[in-house]
Amino acid sequence: MIWQSKVLSDSFSKLKSLTVENCEKLLTVFPFTEATFLNLEQLTITHLKNLEMIWHNKVHADSLSKLKSLRVENCKKLHFPIWN
C-alpha cells in the first residue's frame, strides 16, 4: 500500500505526472475515492505483477479531465475495467 490513511480531497490537485513501477506487492494504486487529480496529465503504471486494480472505485470524470497519457504495462493480474 502506498497510502496507509485517508487523504484529503485536494491532496493531489497539483500533481501533473505520476509513475508507479516495480512494486511487487501492490494490489491497488489508489485505494481511496476522495482524492481528485485535477492537473494529472500523465499516469504510468508498470511492472506491478500483483496489481488487481488502479482505482478502488470509479473516479469522478472531472477528476481526470487533463489526463493525456495513461500507460499500463506488465500488470498481468489487472482486472478490466480498471476499477472495482
User: What pLDDT tens digit does each residue of the chain (84 aa) get?
Assistant: 565 556 666 677 788 999 999 998 998 887 766 667 889 999 999 999 999 988 877 676 677 889 999 999 999 998 876 655
Q: Which of 43, 39, 34 is nearest to 3 (CA)?
A: 34
Contact 55, 34 (CB under 8 A): no
Number of domains in the chain: 1
Cell numbers describing residue 18: 505520476
| Vertex 68 angle, CA 36 and 25, to 5° | 60
Q: What is the reported pLDDT for 17?
A: 96
Residue 80 CA to residue 84 CA, distance in Å, equals 9
* Structural domain span for residue 30: 1-84
